[in-house]
Structure 1
Amino acid sequence: MAAAQQLEKEMAAFQNLQKEFSKVIQSRAQLESQLKENEMVAKEFELLKENATVYKLIGPVLVKQDKPEATVNVKKRIEFITSEIKRLEGQIKDLNQKQDAKKEEVMRLQQEYQQQIAA
């Protein structure tokens, strides 16, 4: 029954890949949401006058912040989120390839196992 054990092992590995894939997709969706939010903030900053007062929420307190400083912070955040999305897209591609390979391996092992049972 070595084939059955090998099949179980490969199925478990495939399921783990699927779980990891789901987590990465969820993280990417969350980052996309944050990116949209920050892009909206950046557009709002463009509409403000140069001497406008900007406040940043830090915990339960609103802290006064210079508009140029706030604008730079938002741009940096957008750059960071964009780079994280690109990194996750690479992970997604890699996990897709691993899933495909593992899926083929599982199918091959299933065929071997069924042939053994039939014999």
Structure 2
Amino acid sequence: MSSTSAVRELQRELETKANDLSKLQKDIAKNHQIRKKYTIQLGENELVLKELNLLKDDANVYKLIGPVLVKQDLAEANANVRKRIDYISAELKRLDSALQDLEEKQNSKRDAILKLQQRIQSLQAGKAKV
């Protein structure tokens, strides 16, 4: 195989890896967006829980369902908010784990791309000497 065709083959491989890296970067950005949304929801729910904890046991609590306010038991409202907080926290942990995995893959792709670029450059340098 001539060095020109080897360089072309390596360049095709480099392009494929660059596309894979680009996809990984988009996935990381999407993960950050979702994580931001959940972090905001977690903060809101923790604030609601603090407010519910300030209420007396006989206080009236209403939940907005569509355009209607529906009376809800304080203990039930408290339990619902705690469940939501648990769910959001679990999702954040899952997203953190996925993000760590994506970042490891991204670093691996970057290393592979660097090695390919070095191989291409060394082949081109060798060809230039001939």
Taking structure 2 as the reference length, what is the TM-score of the superposition? 0.89
List runs of 5+ in structure 2 lacking aligned partners: 1-7
Amino acid at match of 1:38: N
| Aligned counterparts, 1:38-49, within 5 A | 38-49=45-56
Q: Which range is displaced more, 49-58 or 13-22?
A: 49-58
Following TM superposition, the consecutive aligned residue runs of length 4 or more in structure 1 with deviations greater than 3 angstroms are none
Partner of residue 53, structure 1: 60
- Once the two structures are overlaid, the 10-residue window that deviates more, 76-85 or 106-115, is 106-115
Q: Which residue of 2 aligns with 1:75?
A: 82
Q: 1:29 aligns with which of 27, 32, 36?
A: 36
Deviation at 1:117, TM superposition (A): 2.3
**Structure 1: unaligned runs, 5 residues or longer:** none
Match of 1:65 in 2: 72
* SS of residue matched to 2:57: coil
Aligned residues: 119
CA–CA distance in structure 2, aligned partners of residues 61 and 11 of structure 1: 52
Distance 2:76 2:103 in 1: 40
Q: Deviations over 1:28-81 (max 9, x none)?
A: 111111000000000000101111111111122211111110000000000000
Q: How large is the Cα RMSD of the aligned pairs?
A: 0.8
Q: Which structure has the larger Rg over C-alpha atoms?
A: 2
Q: SS state of the match for residue 56, structure 1?
A: strand
Letter in 1 for 2:23: N
Matched residue of 1:49: which SS? coil
CA offset digits 1:74-112 (Å, max 9, x no partner): 000000000000000000110111011000001111111
Q: TM-score, normalised by structure 1?
A: 0.97
